[in-house]
Amino acid sequence: MAELRGLVAEELGRAVDPRVAAMAAGIAAAHGAASRAVLFYGSCLRDVALEGAMLDFYLIVSDYRQAYPARWMAAANRLIPPNVFPFAQGELIAKYAVLSEADFHRLNGPETRSVSVWARFAQPSRLVWVADEAARERAIEAVSRAAPTLLSAALSAVPNDQPPLDLWKAAFALTYSAELRAEKKERGVNVVDQDPARYLRFFGPAMAAARACGKRCGGSWGRRRLEGKLLSVARLAKASATFAGGADYIVWKINRHAGTKIELSAWQKKHPLVTAVTLLPRLIRSGAIR
């Protein structure tokens, strides 16, 4: 695990565009003393051009109650993590998800069947803001759990003797099947193909840690798919309430990834929760999300 932790620490510590670092500091400032770390991840991490894209961040906080002025927001984050919010700074726009240090650690590990966090942090990310060295160490420790959890969970469902890159691709494909995702089904393959050297470098240490997980990281993928898609619906519904312009955000995400041209009426914008729920059956039938 020490070798894997070293790889994770090196990757998290790589430099980012100064505008990304400034945006991360702004996100942390919005939640005051509760902010512990900000991580940058997703497709924008791999893209040179940031203008016109929506950047993705995770804000890690010490405590939900301390992070919000309203108790219901803290309760929502605790019951269906994470909460998601929009953020804009200069010419860039972003969204950020909020998790406590305890939840970030748990959701990167084999304690949870939900793929949402460990599938994302088994991919490259950057630690772009920290409150102190203790926060840095906790973030590195949590992210180091993600790749072993992904691989160990995959080993219960796919042939174990595949070449390393094929196993990574199969693992990510499983996670995409366990959420309602607007991205195309080939996305998991593309993630690996964009940086195969990285996944080869991580494979040995991550696989050693995965095998140490044993059955704790296993479980039924059928159950993961059912629970994951129900959780995706719940998160979308919650986002329509916690995310300013929530209905617009949901439609923007779908149009961007699925190539659709959905437009909202004034009534739909005024009632985002109802809109989110009513859009889902239509989108699932159309294949825009899976």
pLDDT digits (tens, 9 = 90+) for 62-96: 999 999 999 999 999 999 999 988 899 998 999 99
Structure tokens at 264: 């909202």
Structure tokens at 221: 């993928």
User: Tokens 């719940």 sit at which residue?
Assistant: 234
Model pLDDT, residue 286: 44
Q: Which contacts of 133-138 are long-range, i.e. CB under 8 A and separated by 24 or more positions? A: 135/36, 135/37, 135/60, 135/101, 136/37, 138/36, 138/37, 138/60, 138/101, 138/105
Model pLDDT, residue 288: 42
Model pLDDT, residue 86: 87
Model pLDDT, residue 245: 58
Model pLDDT, residue 225: 73
Model pLDDT, residue 181: 57
Binned average pLDDT, 10 residues per bin, the chain of 290 residues: 95 96 98 98 81 91 96 92 91 94 97 91 98 98 97 89 94 82 58 95 96 68 75 69 62 63 72 62 48
What is the rounded distance in angstroms from the CA atom of residue 29 to the CA atom of residue 130? 11
Q: Is the pTM of this model over 0.95?
A: no
3-state secondary structure of 35: strand
Structure tokens at 253: 């995400």
